[in-house]
Amino acid sequence: MQKKLCFYYSAMKGGKTTRIFQKIHDLEENNQQVLLIKPAQDTKGEAKIINRLKQTRTVDILLFPASKVLSEENIDKIYDCDYIIVDEAQFLTPSQIDELWKINKKAKVSITCFGLLTNFRGELFPGSKRLIELSDERIELETNSLCTCGATAKFNARKVDGIFTMEGDEIEIDGARKNVEYVPLCGACFYKEVYRKQRRNNK
Ligand SMILES: [Zn+2]
């Protein structure tokens, strides 16, 4: 069987974590040793992932932006596992994605990354861009992420103090700073509520 590097993406609040728990469960049922990786920038669950049912799973490798995936500390964990799952893969750096690709192709470990495609400005995250370039399969998750108008959401708009904005750092975890929240929006609503207003304000 071909060992693939796969990228599953959806907008925020699209049920990704539920899918990750399902995937890990299925793999472990089949006696696969699963290694769970999460970037350290996602401070939400710290060294855990948490789904809506408040189930938790401890992360095996918490990855900082400057760290190598294949560090001395991680190397045994990586070569001992059968399958790697990455949560919030958009926060990985392009060189970390390159490392995952190398692990997949050279060490022949299957890897599935879950994440967002685009940031709050509607632009690809550098990590997601690299995943699109290198992955064997890119799959848009069938999502339950709905825009406020009821259409399927594609954008992850940012609100600061209740107002949509396209300004600020690429990574701002909601809940970490109290006044930041994210709203899944469809293309039409993102254009109208965020992009067009921003352009008008900048004139
Ligand atoms: Zn909409």
Calculate how far, in angstroms, residue 60's C-alpha sits from the geometric centre of ligand 1.
37
Mean pLDDT of 119-141: 96
Calculate how far, in angstroms, residue 145's C-alpha sits from the geometric centre of ligand 1.
11
Point out which residues pair with 171 in neighbouring strands: none
Point out which residues pair with 120 in neighbouring strands: none
Q: Quick one: tokens of 203?
A: 């004139």
Instruction: List the domain boundaries for the chain.
Output: 5-140, 155-202
Q: Quick one: tokens of 57?
A: 């799973």
End-to-end C-alpha distance for the chain, whole angstroms: 56
Q: Rounded CA gap, 119 and 133, in Å?
A: 17
Quote the pLDDT of residue 200: 79
Where do we find the tokens 């995943």?
A: 131
Residues by chain with Cβ below 5 Å of ion ligand 1: 147, 149, 151, 186, 189
Quick: pLDDT tens for 18-57.
899 999 999 999 999 999 999 998 766 678 888 878 889 9
- CATH superfamily for 5-140 is P-loop containing nucleotide triphosphate hydrolases (3.40.50.300)
Quote the pLDDT of residue 173: 79
Where do we find the tokens 């990786």?
A: 37
So which residues are the catalytic ones? 88
Quote the pLDDT of residue 55: 86
Q: Rounded CA gap, 87 and 115, in Å?
A: 6
Residue 60, Cβ density class (10 Å: 0-12 exposed, 13-18 middle, ≥19 buried): middle
Whether residue 122 is predicted with pLDDT greater than 90 in this model: the reply is: yes
Quote the pLDDT of residue 48: 87
